[in-house]
Amino acid sequence: MRKDEIPLYIVDLALKKGATDVAVKLHDEQHAMIRFSNNEVTVSKFYNESVISIFLMIEKHRAATTVPLSSARNAEKAVNNLIKIAKITPPSELYAPLPEGPFDYDPKLLKDSGISLHSERLIGHVEEAINGALEEGAKKTAGTLDATKEKIILATSGNVHATQERGSLEISVRAFTSEVSSGHFVSISGDEKNFDPSEAGRTAGKIAVAALNPQSGKPGKFTALLGPLVFADLISQVGIVSSAFLVDIGQSFLIDKIDSQIACEKLNLIDDPTIAGSYGVRAFDDEGVPTRRNVIIERGVLKRYLHNSTTAKKHGVETTGNAGLISPHPWNLIVEPGEKSFEEILAEIDRGIYVTNDWYLRYQNYMTGDFSTIPRDGMFLIRNGALSSSIRELRISDNMLRILKNIQEISRTRTWIKWWEVDVPTLTPYAVVRDLNFTKSTM
Amino acid sequence: MEELTEFAVNYAESLGAEYAESRFQCDIQESIILKNGIPEAVVLEESRGISVRVLVNGALGFASTNDLTKRGLKAASNRAYKMAHASTKILRKRISMDDSELGSVKVEVKPHVDFDSIDVESKAKLLKEAYKQAVDEAADNKIKIPSCSITLDTWKTEKLVMTSDGAYVHSFTPRAALFTLITAFHSQKGIIQRFFNLGGTGGWEMVKKWDLPKLFKEESKTLSEILLFARGKPSGKTDVILGPEVVGLVCHESSGHPGEADRILGREAAQAGETYLKSDSIGLRVGSSLVNVVDDPTLDGSFGFYMYDEEGVKARKRVLIKEGVINEFLHNRETASVFKIKSNGSSRAVAFNREPIVRMANTYLEPGDYSKEELFEDVKDGVYIKSFMEWNIDDRRFNQRYVGLEAYKIENGELKERVRNPVLEVTTIGLWSAVDAVGKDLEFQAAYCGKGDPMQGIPVWTGGPHIRLRDVTLGG
């Protein structure tokens, strides 16, 4: 049997064995990663995998499995086992049949843009990034280059049989000018032409140079200018917890907020995987439903949660094309641009703090949105509309909903962000947040 | 799999690699997800494949595949070799492996009750009963549990590690873990949440021992009481007693991570970060003489259990901080070679397709000689922080924050009213230096430690006794 025929074969098999609904995804991935630190490569890695995911329902009884393709060749055994498990699994809350196709998909979204995984070329990207940072004055660099090609073949009992190919490039560069002064930036793309490792290195290097000789910051409430890495971390949290599943299990501060003004009117947040060539492009979700542009926040008002067909039925709405068979999720987040440049919004801040990066975000309470996260890399005092001194050792300790409401300005300039700390690719501007609470160690 | 694993090592060597290592790993996992008392799904996962790691002219290459044929392994080896070879272009210092003694051994943890002998229905029934206990207990206090997610994972791991310099380690390890997030709500008092993990190595007998219905009832009672009675956020200078749950986290975050030798060398600088410690920090005083932090993978039944690491080195207890002084770092063979010492067996990988890197296993503060009563009786005015919800630490592992969940006022040695969310925001040295008494109790919690790129959430225990801190400032 040819590889691309396996999903449909398993769907037919499972239906014959008594499943009411079946979705089978074959995921083929080739992924190269080069990690570097101290201006040299520390390890080069390559992952080559084919796995089959089978999800089936016998009405309210649901079971799923992921197995290597080699095991799936013994499909009958896998399906028999899964049917057995589903039959003895206690019923779920409700039964939502898988969406009925066939569906039309945008052909522009189905094809790989031709990412190269050639070792020499990938090393070249790393060299460009390191050199970019060093040319700006960094002493040492560290980071990761990722290059991925994947093929998804999906078949469902809802007459879906579709194939998507996609590729992506991602580089994350951290530049150091001393033990405690550093800068970080990224470049991500769904194609080669928009990938710019040199610029990522240069930006990280510039921040690291500006961050030299940091003084210990003072805690308190400040107007904060958040760089794209920080704002992407916060805004991707909003995108992630707009999953109806997370809302239902108490892991979202967006519960009971549909049609409420949850943010400043300047904030518009969209999940849009239909942009050809973008990092998070997707033509269809894990139920085979065509993806679409979903407005999550419009002029500060929460418009919808993200759904698969099960959460949609529970909430009495249509699926948004964001399945995840258990939990729906965003694909490709976009914050609509503001009108002013970075320089213009900086010039409007009399006294404040510019934060270029953060990490380690943890909630005290997912439902209220109380959390803290730690600024890292360059952080600067702003005085009279300009960056003054470099500071360190502060923590952002605040509340997600309060921050969203306290957004004062959003820049015209935007950057695609995704890295170790930000899971979902997010097109992110700079943002100004008033009265952001900073704390620090007391001893 | 022995033939294929050995084939991968030999083939990689034949390409010209000066070191080759191959690891077969198979993880077969069952997850039961209960959402608000109702089973969401049962998920079975099988992850099976082989990785090949090579050194080529001092450059490190890694490749993994789940195509378990000689053709698939040749392709993976070729790729690891080529990528390593290409990266010599940006390599200054050659990487090498130390000359640790390597194991030739089979290690098997045998469960008393195999997970497969308990059907899914019975497992789901147990989780539903635990959920019901939580809801009923809360209802007795007029509290609602609007959401509660419970995930029970049970899995078996088989690994076979072989290296070109003679390691042969074949292991079988069953594990179970439970993750819960409970939300408690009262119309006037608001919402609070609690997450907790349980985990260990063993079979179903371990899950039974957890006594989930009783545990959920107790957790629900505590949450209800916090919601109803806790008030006032303590601040200012005071004595603080930390419970084992918090102490374990502190050990992990501010003693384990900073002592990882790969961080000291800058290898994690762009992701999990670096550390305030340097290569020459052995002997540096970071706490009071009562502070002894260790990491021990060999604890029977522990979540972070292993007897040999992914490079074939025998595991042993590592004394990270001895009497308040940095004593030892965590090493794999690569970092040990740089430090010109021998690996202490800290190389771990979470799956066949993940590079082995320096990791903790079970990190804890060694008990002292104070009874719990003795710890409290000497506190005139203080705060007891028993559990936490929010925490984080900077990427040099120096500035950290722990926000208490279950916490009490202490007056004249006696536990008084509950307080809300005390914040301990301190430096690593500030915290460990404030320890003036260490209890003789010892408890462990399960956690997944995140590190590496791609991320590897690896099972660990964190633990310790109750400890007393003098004159620390709460607030933040």
Query: Which residues of A, range 136-165, sit inside 8 Å of B by Cβ?
Result: 140, 142-144
Q: Using a CB–CB cutoff of 8 Å, tell me whether B342 touches chain A.
A: no
Q: In chain A, which residue's Cα lies nearest the Cα of B236?
A: A442
Stretch A176-190: mean pLDDT: 97
Task: Give the model confidence (pLDDT) of A263-285 as tens digits.
Answer: 999 999 999 999 999 999 999 99
Residue A218 DSSP symbol? P
> What is the Cα–Cα distance from B57 to B85, expressed in whole angstroms?
7
pLDDT surpassing 90 at residue A75:
no
CATH topology of domain A3-208: PmbA/TldD fold (3.30.2290)
pLDDT of A226 reads 98
pLDDT of B219 reads 98
| Mutate: best of A65, A360, A370, A392, partner B, most B CBs <10 A | A360
pLDDT band of residue B40 (cuts 50, 70, 90) is confident
What percentage of residues in chain B have a pLDDT greater than 70? Answer: 100
Stretch A161-183: mean pLDDT: 97
Stretch A126-132: mean pLDDT: 98
Q: Using a CB–CB cutoff of 8 Å, tell me whether B35 touches chain A.
A: yes
Report the candidate in A292, A353, A42, A289 with the shortest Cα–Cα distance to residue A159. A289
Q: Which residue among B41, B268, B393 places its CB closest to the CB of A360?
A: B393
Count Cβ–Cβ pairs < 8 Å, chain A vs chain B.
289
What percentage of residues in chain A have a pLDDT greater than 90? Answer: 93
| Mutate: best of A121, A186, A364, partner B, most B CBs <10 A | A364
pLDDT of A161 reads 97
**Residues 6 or more apart in contact with residue B400 via CB below 8 angstroms:** A441, B250, B253, B254, B391, B392, B393, B394, B425, B426, B427, B428, B431
pLDDT of A93 reads 86
Task: Give the model confidence (pLDDT) of B271-305 as tens digits.
Answer: 999 999 999 999 999 999 999 999 999 999 999 99
Q: Using a CB–CB cutoff of 8 Å, tell me whether B136 touches chain A.
A: no
Q: Residue type for A88, please? A: I
The residue whose two tokens read 């997800």 is B33
> What is the Cα–Cα distance from B7 to B24, expressed in whole angstroms?
12
Q: In chain B, which residue's Cα lies nearest the Cα of A72?
A: B46
Q: In chain B, which residue's Cα lies nearest the Cα of A364?
A: B390
> What is the Cα–Cα distance from A312 to A95, expressed in whole angstroms?
11
* 3-state DSSP helix/strand/coil % of chain A, to nearest 5: 25, 40, 35
* 3-state secondary structure at position B87: helix
Contact at CB, B48 and A130, closer than 8 angstroms: no
pLDDT surpassing 80 at residue B476:
no
pLDDT surpassing 90 at residue B41:
no
Q: Could you tell me whether strands B38-56 and A422-439 are parallel, antiparallel, or unpaired per DSSP bridges?
A: unpaired
pLDDT surpassing 90 at residue A88:
no
Report the candidate in B410, B405, B402, B339 with the shortest Cα–Cα distance to residue B372. B410
Residues of A whose CB is below 8 A from B400: 441
Q: In chain B, which residue's Cα lies nearest the Cα of A367?
A: B191
Stretch B162-179: mean pLDDT: 98
Residues of A whose CB is below 8 A from B86: 44, 119-120, 122-123
Sign of the Cα torsion A229, A235, A241, A244 reads negative
Query: Which residues of A, range 347-386, sit inside 8 Å of B by Cβ?
Result: 359-368, 370-374, 376
Q: Using a CB–CB cutoff of 8 Å, tell me whether B139 touches chain A.
A: no
Residues of A whose CB is below 8 A from B190: 368
Q: Using a CB–CB cutoff of 8 Å, tell me whether A438 touches chain B.
A: no
Domain with CATH 3.30.2290.10 in chain A: 3-208
Stretch B223-233: mean pLDDT: 95
Q: Which residue among B83, B120, B148 places its CB closest to the CB of A46?
A: B83
What percentage of residues in chain A have a pLDDT greater than 70? Answer: 99
Contact at CB, A250 and B147, closer than 8 angstroms: yes
> What is the Cα–Cα distance from B185 to A250, expressed in whole angstroms?
11
DSSP lists the bridge partners of residue A30 as: A48, A149
Q: Using a CB–CB cutoff of 8 Å, tell me whether B126 touches chain A.
A: no
Task: Give the model confidence (pLDDT) of B177-217 as tens digits.
Answer: 999 999 999 999 999 999 999 999 999 999 999 999 999 99
pLDDT of A73 reads 63
> What is the Cα–Cα distance from B386 to B404, expressed in whole angstroms?
7
pLDDT band of residue B366 (cuts 50, 70, 90) is very high
Least confident of A77-81, A138-142, B7-11, B18-22: A77-81
Sign of the Cα torsion A204, A208, A209, A210 reads positive
Contact at CB, B355 and A45, closer than 8 angstroms: yes
pLDDT surpassing 70 at residue A240:
yes
Task: Give the model confidence (pLDDT) of A293-339 as tens digits.
Answer: 999 999 999 999 999 999 999 999 999 999 998 999 999 999 999 99
The enclosing H or E element of A362 equals: strand A358-365
pLDDT surpassing 70 at residue A33:
yes
Query: Which residues of A, range 202-231, sit inside 8 Å of B by Cβ?
Result: 219
Q: Which residue among A92, A172, A250 places its CB closest to the CB of B270?
A: A172
Contact at CB, B183 and A250, closer than 8 angstroms: yes
Rg (CA), chain B: 24
Stretch A361-370: mean pLDDT: 97
Query: Which residues of B, range 281-340, sit inside 8 Å of A by Cβ?
Result: none
pLDDT surpassing 90 at residue A438:
yes
Contact at CB, B394 and A371, closer than 8 angstroms: no
pLDDT of B255 reads 98
pLDDT band of residue B390 (cuts 50, 70, 90) is very high
pLDDT band of residue A443 (cuts 50, 70, 90) is confident
Task: Give the model confidence (pLDDT) of B71-102 as tens digits.
Answer: 999 999 999 999 999 999 999 999 999 999 99
Least confident of A68-72, A168-172, A180-184: A68-72
List helix spans (H) across A181-338.
197-210, 228-240, 244-248, 309-315
pLDDT of A2 reads 87
**Residues 6 or more apart in contact with residue B122 via CB below 8 angstroms:** none
Stretch B106-122: mean pLDDT: 96
> What is the Cα–Cα distance from A286 to A27, expressed in whole angstroms?
11
SS (H, E, C) B228-296: HHCCCCCCEEEEEEECHHHHHHHHHHHHHHHHEHHHHCCCCCCCCCCCCCCCCCCCCECCCCCCCEEEC
| ipTM for this model | 0.95
Domains and CATH numbers, chain B: 2-229 (3.30.2290.10), 236-474 (no CATH)
pLDDT surpassing 90 at residue A113:
no
Q: Which residue among B353, B403, B430 places its CB closest to the CB of A441?
A: B430
Instruction: Give the closest-approach CA distance of A107 to chain B in angstroms.
Output: 30
| CB A75, CB A81: distance < 8 Å | no
Q: Which residue among B46, B396, B473 places its CB closest to the CB of A443?
A: B473
List helix spans (H) across B320-467.
333-339, 372-377, 428-433
Q: Using a CB–CB cutoff of 8 Å, tell me whether A66 touches chain B.
A: yes
pLDDT of A71 reads 67
Stretch B405-420: mean pLDDT: 97
Q: Using a CB–CB cutoff of 8 Å, tell me whether A295 touches chain B.
A: no
pLDDT band of residue A72 (cuts 50, 70, 90) is low
pLDDT of B364 reads 98
> What is the Cα–Cα distance from A70 to A53, expressed in whole angstroms?
12
| CB B428, CB B400: distance < 8 Å | yes
- pTM beyond cutoff 0.90: yes
Q: What is the mean pLDDT of chain B?
A: 97
Task: Give the model confidence (pLDDT) of B118-151 as tens digits.
Answer: 999 999 999 999 999 999 999 999 999 999 999 9
Contact at CB, A89 and B36, closer than 8 angstroms: no
Contact at CB, B83 and A42, closer than 8 angstroms: no
Task: Give the model confidence (pLDDT) of A97-109 as tens digits.
Answer: 999 999 999 999 9
